[in-house]
């Protein structure tokens, strides 16, 4: 399998302040894990700078202008108590967008079989007009609309296994029947959305987990709800919001997943992609805040993508 890994030193320049869980060390932990000999065939790609035109696929110009105007020349600028801008945020956020759009280009043109984008800041909480939950621009939603606009892909599925509900991604596609959004997440937990009754145009599948749930409950709910929904939908492209904060050691959740659970869901989603999408799958980093658990979980996720 030709797996592209999108990375760039600019992802380190997005500073969030002392004690913030979404820190540059997250990126370093992933970089170090993927330097192991097992990843020698991973095709490393420097994330290009995205464009305002790409960001406008999800976010209106007024929102983009407000974010750019809020970027500080020095120090930190808080958009809310969780979401922080620093002098390096602009380049990091634009490269996150550039990475996911370039991954769409490479995967849909057949240059890559699949891709993992190790980007910061994350994106799935960002709504069209609101940056929140550590997120500035909604990377995975931009990737989906980029594929729809530039490749005329009709049916795109987004699977979000971050422990927090991707309210931003749901908001973008809530009434778009041709984009399926499926999320497993702990409830109650931030941001408070993601109830099963939130179904959009029949394209939204929210699968709450409860504090203390293990891989058994996680796998059962995917087998009963999300995987059948994907098979029924028959996507042409599969995108993953890959958050690893449902790990048992993560400080921001109470779900008890292990690395093998992330391996399992990666394998299951790859089988869906193989059957319906010609294998076309792009994974985009979201959460994961215990550095050791994040590194181990990303390593097994990427190794599984490479194994085909």
Per-residue pLDDT reduced to its tens digit, 246-264: 999 999 999 999 999 999 9
- pLDDT averaged over every residue in the chain: 98
Q: Taking residues 56-73, what's their average pLDDT?
A: 98
Rounded CA gap, 241 and 122, in Å?
Answer: 9
Q: Is the dihedral of CA 298, 105, 98, 149 positive or negative?
A: negative
Residue range(s) defining the domain that contains residue 79: 3-307
For residues 201-221, average pLDDT: 98
Note the pTM of the prediction, 2 decimals: 0.98
Task: List, in order, residues 6 or more apart from 35 with CB less than 8 Å away.
Answer: none
- Other C-beta atoms closer than 10 Å to the C-beta of 175 total 11
Q: DSSP 3-state assignment of 57?
A: coil
Q: What is the pLDDT of residue 199?
A: 98
Q: Which one of 125, 164, 185, 247 is the catalytic residue? A: 125
pLDDT given at position 2: 97
- SS3 of 237, please? strand
Sheet of strand 114-117, all strands in order from the earlier edge strand to the far edge: 43-46, 3-7, 114-117, 281-285, 237-242, 156-160, 179-186, 204-209
State pLDDT tens for residues 128-178: 999 999 999 999 999 999 999 999 999 999 999 999 999 999 999 999 999
Look at residue 1 and tell me whether its pLDDT is greater than 90: no
Total domains in the chain come to 1
pLDDT at site 308: 76
Each residue of 272-307: pLDDT tens digit? 999 999 999 999 999 999 999 999 999 999 999 999
Q: What is the mean pLDDT of residues 43-61?
A: 98
Active site (annotated) includes residue 20: no
Mean pLDDT for the stretch of residues 113-132: 98
Q: What is the mean pLDDT of residues 90-96?
A: 98
Over residues 114-122, the mean pLDDT reads 98
Q: Who contacts 147 (Cβ-Cβ below 8 Å, separation ≥6)?
A: 104, 108, 153, 156, 237
Domain harbouring 279, CATH code: 3.40.800.20
């Amino acid at each position: 399998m030709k797996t592209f890994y999108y990375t760039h030193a600019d992802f380190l320049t997005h500073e969030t302040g002392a004690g913030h869980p979404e820190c540059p060390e997250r990126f370093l932990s992933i970089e170090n894990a993927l330097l192991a000999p097992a990843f020698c065939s991973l095709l490393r790609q420097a994330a290009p700078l995205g464009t305002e035109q790409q960001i406008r696929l999800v976010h209106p110009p007024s929102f983009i202008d407000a974010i750019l105007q809020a970027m500080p020349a020095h120090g930190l600028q808080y958009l809310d108590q969780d979401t922080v801008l620093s002098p390096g945020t602009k380049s990091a956020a634009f490269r996150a967008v550039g990475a996911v759009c370039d991954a769409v280009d490479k995967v849909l043109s057949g240059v890559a079989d699949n891709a993992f984008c190790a980007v910061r800041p994350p994106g799935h909480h960002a709504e069209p007009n609101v940056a929140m939950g550590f997120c500035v621009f909604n990377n995975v939603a931009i990737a989906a609309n980029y594929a729809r606009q530039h490749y005329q892909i009709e049916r795109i599925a987004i699977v979000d296994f971050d422990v927090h509900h991707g309210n931003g991604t749901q908001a973008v596609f809530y009434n778009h029947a041709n984009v399926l959004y499926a999320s497993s997440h702990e409830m109650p937990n931030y941001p408070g959305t993601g109830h099963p009754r939130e179904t959009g145009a029949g394209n939204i599948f929210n699968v709450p987990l409860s504090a203390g749930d293990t891989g058994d409950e996680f796998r059962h709910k995917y087998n009963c709800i999300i995987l059948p929904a994907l098979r029924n939908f028959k996507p042409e492209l599969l995108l993953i919001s890959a958050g690893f904060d449902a790990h048992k050691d993560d400080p921001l959740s109470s779900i008890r997943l292990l690395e093998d659970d992330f391996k399992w869901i990666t394998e299951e989603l790859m089988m869906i992609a193989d059957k319906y999408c010609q294998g076309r799958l792009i994974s985009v980093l979201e959460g994961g805040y215990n550095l050791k658990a994040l590194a181990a979980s990303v390593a097994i996720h990427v190794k599984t993508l490479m194994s085909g």
